[in-house]
Chains A and B, each alone.
Chain A
Amino acid sequence: MADIRREYDMGSEVVRALRGVDITIEVNEFVAIMGSSGSGKSTLMNLIGCLDQPTGGEYRLNGERVSELDDVELARIRNREIGFVFQTFNLLARSTALHNVELPLVYAGVGRKERRRRSEETLEKVGLSDRMRHRPNELSGGQRQRVAVARALVTKPSLLLADEPTGNLDSTTSQEIMALFEALHRSGQTIVVVTHNPEVADHADRQIHLVDGSVERDVRTEGSA
């Protein structure tokens, strides 16, 4: 990511949410992006997740110039390369855990049987093999977030992108989810977590602090891993 800018044109004034951010995230890094609200971290996350396009600068993902891709290709990247975990889980309420996890594979065009097999496998990995047929409202917050993690991982993305993954969870379940992240990291998964919670950031081995749309500090920590 080089010199990323994102400006919002809010009618009379132009809001510059990001004023030139340069970061490189290596494969198998566990990065926490930190900052208070309004620091631009959500904007940065949307850009990393290809939900949004920068107004300036260049973003390469696995060498591919994302900033030049069209809508269909962006959808493909979101589908194959990035796994999202949201603060509010964002599961489809009417579908079972299994179907929620299958969803990215549906858009990837994976066949029914293969889809089922991979989804079950991934749910097992997050420790939910006994809850596959349950709907989100029959699951606890921690379980829901684990379904979301499974959904994010099922396409074997290059990047797991989490936005305040523990924001809606109590401290015990937060610990569980972060432990899950660390385990994934150990098995080679690249992870980016956006958070304002230092406890969460402590699990990462690199912390990027944003202030007013620029990188203020970029520190490597030992993490707990």
Chain B
Amino acid sequence: MQIGEILAVAFQSILANKLRAALTMLGIIIGIAAVVTVVALGTGAQRAIDARISALGARLLSIYPGQSYQHGIASGERVTLRTLDAEALTRDARLLDGVLPEIVRSVQVKYGNQNINTRVIGTTPNYDDVRNYTLRAGRMFTAGDGEARRRYAVLGHAVPGMLEASATEMLGQRVFVRGIPFEIIGIFAEKGSEGSWRNPDEQVVIPLQTAQFRVFGTDRLRSITVRVVEGVPLEQGMVDVERVLRREHGIRPGEDNDFRLRNRQELLNTQQATAQVFSYLLASIAGVSLLVGGIGIMNIMLVSVTERTREIGIRKALGATRTNILMQFLVEAIVLCLVGGVLGIALGSSGAVALSRIAGWNTFISFGAIVLAVAFSAGVGIFFGLWPAWRAASLNPIDALRYE
């Protein structure tokens, strides 16, 4: 028996009971719509968090100076992280494509007659690239500017406002950092808060060597931030950093690190986990409504089998096999579920769109989720259609023919 014939019979029987079919489908429609909406919400929330992570730099590791320990007791001075360490990392590390040493001090910055206290960062020219800044005006300093220890400064987006001046008029002018004159060569675009207590727009960036030799007179770094090569797991990058720094610091095997390594992603992992639990919870509630819809299908299919007992008898007398009858009822259940599923996807998608428009929630309808929903509704059809179909198939033709 061809599949076209089976489908035709299934549609015919659904159309013969339009109202009943529609009400049955309603259960599936609501179930699938709920699942699609919830999954869209969950995916949207996930994406929002992922976006924050990549804004923070998902591939970034931070290295801070640590304490050296011997037999569990802090010994000697606090070990420092020096510019030499950054050079070693640039030279020897194999899995990093960005090394960003930072000397950071909070100092007085003067412009005209305005006077503020803010963070000044001495760093390398790849600062904007690694930290994901863009320039609003002017340019970033170059490696050559660093070599020449030029007194060039690039201002954070909020700095001109703090100094009560406009960004455009400041470009090319002088600011005084600790009384030392710097030429303003660039201004960053706004980055916005990353959720940390430090505002990334309230800072002045100057070349590392200028900071080291002309302003602060130190090679002690607050931190080194490194970027792991795309596609390499952060853990491998951490191993690479440890390898280079332990050798550089002459740490023997078995001794503890004298620096601390932090994975910036960890900060957000908790948040992500919370969002996940929430979306699982919602999805399971949606799943329950789908289950109820499935039971509705089963109920109606059982009614349909009883109602059509005589028809089953006739078909068997005319040569239908068990499989033919089984397929006929199964296909009918699957068609009900699939049509309901498609309508449910339409309803759920518009629900998700409406939620993001009206409530402003992040939603994202993924193709995968839709495929999953369709497969799931077909699965519901098979699962809940199987028993009624099997009952129909195993009817005795004589009893079925006699049934009134």
Residues of A within 8 A of B (CB): 46, 49, 51-52, 71-72, 75-76, 78-80, 84, 86, 90-92, 94-95, 103-104, 106-109, 151, 155
Assess whether B58 is interfacial by the CB under 8 Å rule: no
Beta-carbon contacts under 8 Å, B52-110 to A: none
Whole-angstrom CA separation of A151 from B319 in the bound complex: 12
Q: Given contacts A46-B398, A107-B1, is CB(A90)–CB(B310) below 8 Å? A: yes
Cβ-defined contact, B321 with A75, below 8 A? yes
Q: Which 3 A-B pairs have the closest CB atoms?
A: A79-B319, A75-B321, A107-B319
Beta-carbon contacts under 8 Å, B139-181 to A: none
Residue of B nearest to A77 (CB): B319
B-side contacts of A84, CB under 8 Å:
317-318
Whole-angstrom CA separation of A51 from B5 in the bound complex: 24
Cβ-defined contact, B397 with A94, below 8 A? no
Q: How many whole Å from B328's CB to the nearest CB in chain A?
A: 11
Cβ-defined contact, B316 with A78, below 8 A? yes
Cβ-defined contact, A51 with B319, below 8 A? no
Q: How many whole Å from B395's CB to the nearest CB in chain A?
A: 12
Assess whether B366 is interfacial by the CB under 8 Å rule: no
Assess whether B401 is interfacial by the CB under 8 Å rule: yes
How many residues on chain B are close to A (CB under 8 Å)? 23
Cβ-defined contact, A90 with B319, below 8 A? no
Whole-angstrom CA separation of A80 from B320 in the bound complex: 11
Whole-angstrom CA separation of A90 from B400 in the bound complex: 11
Residue of A nearest to B12 (CB): A94
Q: Given contacts A78-B316, A90-B314, is CB(A106)–CB(B321) below 8 Å? A: no
Q: Which of A52, A86, A90, A107 contacts B320 (CB 8 A)?
A: A107
Cβ-defined contact, B319 with A72, below 8 A? no
Whole-angstrom CA separation of A106 from B2 in the bound complex: 8
Assess whether B315 is interfacial by the CB under 8 Å rule: yes
Assess whether B359 is interfacial by the CB under 8 Å rule: no
Residues of B within 8 A of A (CB): 1-2, 5, 12-13, 16, 310-311, 313-324, 397-398, 401
Cβ-defined contact, B314 with A76, below 8 A? no
Residue of B nearest to A49 (CB): B317
Q: Given contacts A51-B397, A90-B310, A109-B1, is CB(A103)–CB(B318) below 8 Å? A: yes
Cβ-defined contact, B317 with A51, below 8 A? yes
Q: How many whole Å from A133's CB to the nearest CB in chain B?
A: 16
A-side contacts of B311, CB under 8 Å:
92
Cβ-defined contact, B398 with A108, below 8 A? no
Whole-angstrom CA separation of A44 from B5 in the bound complex: 33
Greatest chain B CB density within 10 A among A52, A84, A104, A106 is at: A106
Cβ-defined contact, B319 with A78, below 8 A? yes
Whole-angstrom CA separation of A173 from B2 in the bound complex: 37
Q: Which of A46, A71, A107, A109 contacts B318 (CB 8 A)?
A: A107
Q: How many whole Å from A188's CB to the nearest CB in chain B?
A: 22
Residue of A nearest to B322 (CB): A71
Cβ-defined contact, B5 with A52, below 8 A? no
Residue of A nearest to B393 (CB): A71
B-side contacts of A151, CB under 8 Å:
318
Q: How many whole Å from B1's CB to the nearest CB in chain A?
A: 6
Greatest chain B CB density within 10 A among A75, A86, A95 is at: A75
Residue of A nearest to B325 (CB): A75
Cβ-defined contact, A104 with B322, below 8 A? no
Residue of A nearest to B400 (CB): A51
Cβ-defined contact, A106 with B5, below 8 A? yes
Whole-angstrom CA separation of A84 from B320 in the bound complex: 13
Q: How many whole Å from B112's CB to the nearest CB in chain A?
A: 91
Q: How many whole Å from A38's CB to the nearest CB in chain B?
A: 15
Q: Given contacts A106-B1, A107-B1, is CB(A80)–CB(B319) below 8 Å? A: yes
Whole-angstrom CA separation of A49 from B313 in the bound complex: 13
Whole-angstrom CA separation of A137 from B315 in the bound complex: 19
